[in-house]
Structure 1
Amino acid sequence: MEHSFWQNLAGDLTAATISASLVAPTVTIIDRALVEKASYHKPLLQSLRSHAHAALKHPRQFLFSRPHGYVFTLYAATYTVANGTETITKQTHPSISDAVTFCCTFLVNVPLGVRKDIRFAQFFGTSSQIDPGRNSPPLLRKTGSAVATGTLLVRDAITIFGSFTLAQRCTDVIPDSLAAHPYSKMIFTQMVVPVLSQIVATPLHLLGLDLYNRQYKIPWADRLAVVRRDLPSATVIRCVRIIPAFGFGCLANTGLRSLFHQ
C-alpha cells in the first residue's frame, strides 16, 4: 500500500513535468507577444511569427532562456501540486479532497503567475526599452507596482476558478445530445469554460500591464483607453493561449497521471 502510494506520487510528478514541457514553449511565445502588444503596440502576428521562428532556429537557447524557465516552473508547479494534493487527500481526507486541491493549486499558481508576468514586463515591456528622446525615465512609484500586482492577482483568480472549479461544475449542465459520455463532457467543458473566462480576465491583464509599465500619475481615462485599444486582439490571443495552458495541458496531465497510476 505504501509502495503504491509513493509510486503514485512519482507518477504525479512525471505527468506534471511532461505536461508542463508540452505547453511551456507555446505559452512563452504568446505571453511575450502580449506584453509587447500592451507595452508598445507591436503587432501580435508579427511578434508571434518572429518569436516562433527564433525558437525553432535556436531551440536550445530558447528552452534554457529565463522567460521559458519562468513559464515552465509555473505550470510544472501547478500541475505537481494539483496532482500530489489530490493523491494525498483522496487517501487521507476524501470528503474535502476537491476543496483542498483547489486551494493548494490556487495558492501556488497565482503567486508564480504574477511573478512570471512581472518578469515578462521587465524583460519585454516598455521598462526594458530605451527612449532616446527622454533624458531620464519617469519617476516610479512603489504603489503602482503594488496595484499592478493586485490587479494581476484578481485576473489569475478568475482564470483558476474558470479552469478548475467552474469547468468541473459545468459538466452537469451539458446535455446528452451534445456529449453523452461523462468523459466527453469533461473534455468539452475543460476546453470551453477556461477560454470563456478570459473575456473577464483580459481587461484586468491589460490594466495590470499598463499599471506596471507606467508607474507614474496618469488619468484613469488614459489607462482605460489603452485597455480598450488592445482589448479585441488581446482577448482573442489570450483565449487561444488558455487552450494549451488549461485545456490541452490539463487534459494531458490528467491522462498521463491516470496512466502512471496504473
Structure 2
Amino acid sequence: MKNDVGAEKPLVNSASPIPLPRKDTPSSGLQQRWNTKNIGLRLGADLTSAACAASIMENASGRNTLANSLRASFRTLLVRPHAVLFSKPVALIFMLYGGTYWTANTLDTVTSTALDKPAMHVTTGTAKFAASSAANVGLCVYKDQVFVKMFGPGGPPRPVPVPSYVLFTLRDCLTIFASFNVPPLLGPVLNERMGTKLQKKVSGTTIAQFAAPAAVQLFSTPVHLLGLDMYNRPGTGGLVSWRDRWMQVRKNWAISAVARICRIVPAFGLGGTVNTKVRRNLMERLA
C-alpha cells in the first residue's frame, strides 16, 4: 500500500509510540490570558466606589460626642460650609477609609485581570486581607499622629508602647477581616437560607456586610481596651497587674462595644455596602 505524497507523519518518540505534539502547536495549558478590557476605566471605577464609601465613613470618625458633633457641624456647615468640606480632619478621614477601600478594590481588579475573571470579580483570600489590613493600619497610624498634634494637649505626645501598637493592629485586622473577607463568603450562605420574597428586599451579602463588622466588635473591643490601658497605665516596675487590667477591661467592655459598633457599622457596614454596589454597577457597564 502506498503512502500519500506530502502527508504529514506524527512526530513520535523513539522510546514511545505515543505521538508528540508539534512544536508549532500552541498548548492551551501554557497560554496566559489577561482580562484587560477597559482596565483604565475599571481602575477609575475602583477609585470612584472607594470615594463614595469614604464619604459615608467620614461621618463615623468618632472625634467628638454625637450631640456636640452635630451642633458644631451644623453651625459650621451653615456659616462656613467650605471650612467643613475642605478641612484637614475631613481629608484625613477620607484618606483613611478611601485608601482602605481603594486598596481592596484595586486588588480585585488586578486579580480579575491576571486570572481572566469578569470585571465584577471579588476576592476573599489572604492577599485581600493582607493588603487591606496593611493599608488601613498604615493610614490609621498616620491619621492618629496628625490628630494628636492637632487636638492633643500641648507638648510632645507620649510615645505609644509596642504592646499597645500590637493590640491596636490586631483590633484593626479583626475589623478588616470581618468587613472585607467575611461578607462575600457569608452572603451566598445567607441567600440560600433566605426566602425569595425576603431576598427581593435585602440580599444576604448586605446583611453580612452589616452584621459581620458589628459582631466582631464584641471580640475586638477588649483588645482595644487593653491596648488603651497599657498606654494610660504603663505599669513601670510591675505596678499594674494583669488582674487589674482585666478588671478595667471588663468594666468598660459593654459600653465600649456599643460605642464601637455605632461607629463601625456606618463605616464598614453602610460604607461597605455602598462600595460594593457602586463598584458592581460600574463594572457591569464596563464588562
| TM-score normalised by the chain length of structure 1 | 0.76
Match of 1:8 among 39, 42, 45: 42
Question: Counterpart in 2 of 1:148?
Answer: 164
**TM-superposition CA deviations, 1:3-31 (whole Å, max 9, x none):** 6111111111112112201221x212x2x
Larger relative contact order (CA 8 Å, sep ≥ 6): 1
Length, aligned pairs only: 235
- Tell me, in whole angstroms, the C-alpha distance in 2 between the residues paired with 1:230 and 1:204: 12
How far apart, CA to CA, are the structure 1 residues paired with 2:173 and 2:142?
14
User: Where does residue 23 of structure 2 map in the other structure?
Assistant: none
Residue 244 of structure 1: how far off its partner (Å):
1.3
* Deviation for aligned residue 1:53: 1.4
Partner SS for 2:221: helix
Cα distance, 1:4–1:161 mapped onto 2, change above 3 Å? same
For the pair 1:160 / 2:176, whether they are aligned, the reply is yes
Runs of 4+ in 1 over 6 A off after TM superposition: none
Identical positions, percent:
31
Among candidates 96, 117, 120, match of residue 74 of structure 1 = 96
Distance (Å, rounded) in 2 between the aligned partners of 1:97 and 1:175: 18
- Which secondary structure does the structure 1 equivalent of 2:38 belong to? helix
Give how far 1:123 is off: 5.2
1:245 corresponds to which residue? 267
Moved more, 74-83 or 200-209: 200-209
1:22-101 alignment, distance < 5 Å: 22-24=56-58, 26-28=59-61, 30=62, 32-33=63-64, 47-59=65-77, 60-93=82-115, 97-99=123-125, 100-101=127-128
Cα distance in 1 between the residues matched to 2:170 and 2:36: 39
TM-score, structure 2 normalization: 0.70
Q: Take 2:240 and 2:161, find their aligned partners in 1: how far apart are those partners? A: 16
Per-residue CA deviations over 1:122-153 (Å, capped at 9, x if unaligned) read 655xxx347xxxxx99x95x5x5222111100
Structure 1 partner of 2:129: 102
1:15–1:253 contact (8 Å) kept in structure 2: yes
Structure 1 Cα separation of the partners of residues 91 and 161 of structure 2: 23
> Cα distance 1:258–1:175, how it changes in 2: closer, same or farther (>3 A)?
closer
What SS is found at the alignment partner of 1:58?
helix
Letter of the 1:156 counterpart:
D
More helix by share: 1
Q: Structure 1 residues 1-10 or 11-20, which shifts more?
A: 1-10
Larger Rg: 2
1:223 Cα deviation from its structure 2 partner: 3.5
What's the CA shift for 1:175?
6.4
| CA–CA distance in structure 2, aligned partners of residues 123 and 172 of structure 1 | 44
Query: Deviation at 1:185?
Result: 0.8
Structure 1 residues 248 and 147, CA gap change in structure 2 (3 angstroms)? same
Residues 119 and 207 of structure 1, relative CA distance in 2, 3 Å threshold: farther
Q: CA deviation at 1:117?
A: 4.3
Provide structure 2 residue ranges, at least 5 long, that are not aligned to the other structure. Answer: 1-34
Q: Which runs of 5+ in 1 are unaligned?
A: 34-46, 131-135
Check 1:250–1:199 CA distance in 2 against 1; reply closer, same or farther (3 A cut): same
CA change 1:178–1:259 in 2 (3 A) is closer
CA distance in 2, matches of 1:246, 1:56: 24
Residue 167 of structure 1 aligns with an amino acid whose one-letter code is P
What pairs with 1:200-219 in structure 2 (closer than 5 Å)? 200-215=219-234, 217=236, 218-219=239-240
